[in-house]
Amino acid sequence: MKSSIKIALAGKPNSGKSSLFNLLTGLRQKVGNFTGVTVDRASGLLKGQTDLPIQMIDLPGTYSLYPRSADEQVTFDILTEKNHPDHPEKVVVVADATNLRNCLLLCTQLIDLGLPVVLAVNMMDLLPGMNLSLNLPLLSEKLGIPVVGLSARKNSGIQELKQTMTASIPLSVVSFLSNSIYSEVSSQKPPYVYGEFLKKLQTDLHTSDIQISDKADLLKIKDLLHRYETIDELLKTVVQSTLVNPAEKRNWADRILLHPIGGYAIFLLMLLFIFQAIFSWASIPMYWIEWGMGNVNSVLNENIAESWGRSLLINGVLAGVTGIIIFIPQIAFLFLFMAVLEESGYMARVVFLMDRLMRPFGMNGRSVIPLIGGMACAIPSIMGARTIADRRERLVTILVTPLMSCSARIPVYTLLISMVIPPTPIFGFFQLQGLVMMGLYLLGFFMALLSALVLKSRIRKGERSIFLVELPAYRFPEFRNISLTLWHKCKAFVWEAGRVILVISMILWGMVNFGPQDEFNKIEEHYSQLRQLDSADIEQLNRMEASDKLKESWAGKLGAKIEPMVKPLGFDWKIGIGLITSFAAREVFVGTMATLYAAEEDGSSETLRERMLQDTFSDTGKKVYTPATGISLILFYAFAMQCMSTLAITRRETGSWKWPVVMIIYMSLLAYLAALIPQLIVA
């Protein structure tokens, strides 16, 4: 007796599967109004099911059962292999009501595969605005399967779908098979003939025998043409339009946003607006967070007796965590604008627009999805490269995606830009700091293109790449979807970064507060004698003692080993330690600086920026954070591979340690050379 029933959600990319999956299971699968969001299967139990548990499986998007990429192969294997552990008893095909033709191809294939199928026609709420109507009962009759109309965004039709898919679903008596398929697999009978045909075709398409491969390709084309002819005849009867000639209705927005010159200009203006908002709009909540955390620091200092426990709490845990919490407003603004662009349908236009630009560099328009996604996080973006069919294009995209400035770099950029770049007004509205921030993102993008140009000549070319992208209907962003995205993104950022920073801050606190006991005893004895002098400035002596102890601590000794390597870049030993700890996660740099400088502050109310700007080299007395050094450090973080998780996911996606090693070597060299340039200019 089965312990559960499996129901798969299948459909073309951007049909609303993930939104529907979230509504049915209560989970939080990532959604977006552009292709390539779901790149692996997700599963969860159907909500409100009291009898036999029903496991919902959200499959990667695919247009047909002819897979061309790694994510489509996942869907093919699950649906065609009866012995697969995730093979479903039923399939819900999620279709886009505004583009039903492309959705019905997969639906007819699943019907012929002999699976119980329910067609869920999503986005029904968009049809009136397109002057279209859909006869669902007639569509159900023509396909021989249950058909349910719904709108996942508006939570409409969900209950009807649940009732339909949990009930008994008879197999369709309608067949979409052509005679050419019957003749190829004559030993089988419906509904098994199509499954046998697909397996044989998959084998023949990848054989080294050119004649067999060409014959298989011809059969695939015949099958597709036959299905589309049948689908076109079907749609003539079930879709009605109130327009005299729908083809004459052109989308004026696309004519503007996809213009070969104006389209790029609009995209750049949008980026400039986003980064201006990150600096300007986020400054008020950042101020209040900084003020609040400063008050917490003061209260703890006043009410907890001096001890190593107080030092650990204030200078270790609180200092490190504060360095992340203060940047939440800026990260939230980035995720907000990204969510709006995705929800509105504009992001798909960017993908289409960028295809011509990407081709000479060994990528295609689909590579833009991981690259733009890399502005949030490289890890899911690298996984998103599975949608790229060509091996070389996929590998090049994976290797250059970390050059895109992710959200983990925002705390570092913001701290350093605010230290070395003045907030000079530009054109009365923009600020120089916002322009510099946008410049860093553009710099990462152009460096990704240049790196891709070099890498494509070193990687063997795969099969010929064909780029297809669907432009979804424009939608007004849903507040519920955006607010959920913001909440979960920010929570995940704080939780993931916070855990790493908490551990590293505590380790660093130990390293900066402990060292060889003999050295510490000598320092304490020396300053104890100085305090006995009548002219002694106790406060100044305390700061000097803390500084000397820091140099002799385990952290200071580690920094002394690192400093010769980073000194040509204008960096001191503290920055060197920050670079090492950043390999756990880039944003750890801010927490590291907060912990290191907190060890010297001795109750000071100065902000981290102020303490860093006052720091000097012990041997020369010169300021550490000059404009040249600040720019060098910014450039280093723009290019360096400082994320162990990204290396791990690259290993998983490429199946080899070769490419993560290549990634860390070329990005580290690039970062070092870029950081060296400002120092050479001012030398």
Q: Would you say residue 466 lies in a domain?
A: no
Higher pLDDT, 294 or 493: 294
pLDDT tens for residues 318-375? Answer: 766 776 677 678 777 877 887 788 777 787 787 778 777 777 777 766 677 777 777 7
Please indicate, yes or no, whether residues 230 and 82 belong to a single structural domain of this protein. Answer: no
At residue 119 the predicted structure's pLDDT band, cuts being 50, 70 and 90, is very high
Q: Give residue 666's pLDDT.
A: 92
Q: What is the pLDDT of residues 151-200, one digit of tens each?
A: 887 888 888 998 898 888 888 888 888 776 666 655 555 555 777 788 87
pLDDT reported for residue 246: 41
Beta strands 132-134; 54-58: pairing state: unpaired
DSSP string, 221-240: HHHHHHHHHHHHHHHHHHEE
DSSP state of 92: E
Q: What pLDDT does residue 294 have?
A: 75
Q: Do 216 and 134 belong to one domain?
A: no
374-383 pLDDT tens trace: 776 777 677 7
Same domain, 122 and 76: yes
Contacts of 104 (CB under 8 A, 6+ apart): 95, 143, 231, 234, 235
Q: Last residue of some domain: 246, 270, 303?
A: 246
For residue 9, the cross-strand partners are 58, 92
Q: How does residue 36 score in pLDDT terms, banded at 50, 70 and 90?
A: very low
Q: What is the pLDDT of residues 50-60, one digit of tens each?
A: 677 888 888 88
Angle at 502 between CA 498 and CA 504, to 5 degrees: 120
Would you state the structure tokens that stand for residue 393, as one six-digit string? 């294009």
Look at the chain and report how many structural domains it folds into: 3
Q: What is the CATH number of the domain that holds 33?
A: 3.40.50.300
Same domain, 147 and 191: no
Q: Are residues 66 and 212 in the same domain?
A: no
DSSP state of 350: H
Distances (CA, A) of 606 to 320, 422, 613: 15, 19, 11
Is the pLDDT at 30 greater than 60? The verdict is: no
Whether residue 430 is contained in a domain is answered as no
pLDDT above 90: residue 92: yes
Mean pLDDT computed over 285-300: 79
Mean pLDDT of the chain: 79
For residues 535 and 670, membership in a common domain is answered with yes
According to the model, what pLDDT value does residue 138 have? 92
Strand partners, 8: 57, 91
pLDDT given at position 146: 93
Question: What is the pLDDT confidence band of residue 24, given thresholds at 50, 70 and 90?
Answer: confident
Q: Average pLDDT in the 588-596 region?
A: 77
Question: Looking at the structure, do residues 160 and 214 belong to the same domain, yes or no?
Answer: no
Report which of residues 623 and 298 the model is more confident about: 623
Report pLDDT digits (tens) over 239-272.
887 554 444 444 677 888 888 888 888 888 887 7
Q: Which residue has the higher pLDDT, 675 or 533?
A: 675
| 169 vs 620, higher pLDDT | 169
Q: How far apart are CA 420 and CA 415, in angstroms?
A: 9
- On the question of a cis peptide bond just before residue 191, with omega within 30 degrees of 0, the verdict is yes
**pLDDT of res. 147:** 93
Quick check: is 670 in a domain?
yes
- Kind and range of the H or E run holding 431: strand 430-431
The lowest-confidence range among 23-37, 97-111, 252-266 is 23-37
pLDDT digits (tens, 9 = 90+) for 464-480: 555 556 666 677 777 77
* Residue ranges making up the domain that contains 536: 499-682
Position 455 confidence tier, pLDDT thresholds 50, 70, 90 = confident
For 570, which DSSP code? Answer: T
Residues 489-516: what's their mean pLDDT?
72
User: With a threshold of 0.75, does the pTM exceed it?
Assistant: no
Same domain? For 68 and 209 the reply is no
Tell me the percentage of the chain whose pLDDT exceeds 70: 84
